[in-house]
Amino acid sequence: MRKLSNWVIVCWGTVAMLAFSGASFAEESAVSANVTNGKNIYENGKPDAGVPACATCHGDKAMGMDAMGTPRLANIGYVYIVKQLTNFAEDKRKDLTMDQMNGIAKGLTVQDRRDLAAYENSFPRDSELSDLNALKADGTVVGEAYKGQILVKYGREGKAGACQSCHGSNGRGADPVYPKIGQQKYVYLVNQLTHWRDGSRANDPMGQMQAIARTLSDDDIHNAAAYLSQAPARTEGDTYEIDNKTVLKNVTIVK
């Protein structure tokens, strides 16, 4: 029964996420993404539309910045990025970090969002992990990764489900539905789990993340974020690494 329930959740989650992908199955052949335009917007913005360079806050390699609370965007999933930009543009998600993304997303066309998502998922599969020791030295509360590993892999019976049930082993992503959260920035992970928990972020399909986050204590959040921010892409006996480009492979890429 539990397996069936999980399958239903994934199926409905797929439908919800693909609705925002810009690559609906009914018109796949008509969808294209221009990575050159995406790169230009990422590096230079669209000044006439009030859109600054994405690299200013997310870094040259789209790895995010703990100091600014901004997330890694590189290789986390084409569908997810298109959905988030769409949600920001439609005010279905509020930027609670720097209060900028809603205005920025409104300055992007639907095609721009696709182009940016395609470019951000074209980066080499590198890693720039959060420096937890530096964060701790600066006064940031940092959890214990070994405790977080238990939550990520097994969850807690009667409360939080295992993160990897949806996001894959070590949070490597389950494209096209669930984004890569492994090796995401620590500060961003803590902030988003907190926002899910208090309901200030509520753009998750079927309220899945809100329901899970409400079962988490502050310690749980810090511990899970500590583990996920450092999670290896591959482990012994599990060397598969998802590329998070399932839908992107069906999009015509223009350079």
The β-bridge partners of 70 are 65
Q: What is the CATH number of the domain that holds 196?
A: 1.10.760.10
pLDDT recorded at residue 246:
63
pLDDT tens for residues 84-138? 999 999 999 999 999 999 999 999 999 999 999 999 999 998 899 999 999 999 9
Give a yes or no: residue 243 inside a domain. Answer: no
Looking at the structure, tell me whether residues 89 and 146 fall in a common domain. Answer: no
The verdict on residue 226 lying in a domain is: yes
Burial-class residue 214 by CB neighbours within 10 Å (0-12, 13-18, 19+). Answer: middle
Among 61-65, 107-111, 147-151, 239-243, the minimum mean pLDDT is found in 239-243
> Is the whole model's pTM more than 0.75, yes or no?
yes
Same domain, 47 and 117: yes
Q: 122 and 155: one domain? A: no
Residue 103 forms part of a structural domain = yes
**Same domain for 138 and 122:** no
Chain centre distance of CA 248? 16
Q: Are residues 112 and 155 in the same domain?
A: no
Specify whether 140 is located in the same domain as 113: no
Specify if 242 maps to a domain: no
Number of compact structural domains in the chain: 2
**136 and 170 in one domain?**
yes
Asked, as a colleague might, if the bond just before 232 is cis with ω within 30 of 0, I would say: no
- Same domain membership, residue 31 and residue 17: yes
Residues 115 and 220 in one domain: no
Clarify whether residues 103 and 51 are in a common domain: yes
Residues 98, 146: contact at Cβ < 8 Å? no
Q: Would you say residue 84 lies in a domain?
A: yes
146/215 same-domain check: yes
Q: Is residue 6 part of a domain?
A: no
Q: Is the pLDDT assigned to residue 44 strictly greater than 80? A: yes
Whether 40 and 67 map to the same domain: the answer is yes
Query: What is the average pLDDT score of the chain?
Result: 87
Structural domain for 15, as ranges:
11-127+248-254
The count of other CB atoms within 10 Å of the CB of residue 50 is 11
Asked if residue 74 is part of any domain, the answer here is: yes
Assign 174 to helix, strand or coil.
strand
Instruction: Find the mean pLDDT for residues 69-76.
Output: 97
Assess if residue 40 is contained within a domain.
Answer: yes
Q: Cα-flanking dihedrals φ and ψ of residue 150, to 5°?
A: -65, -45
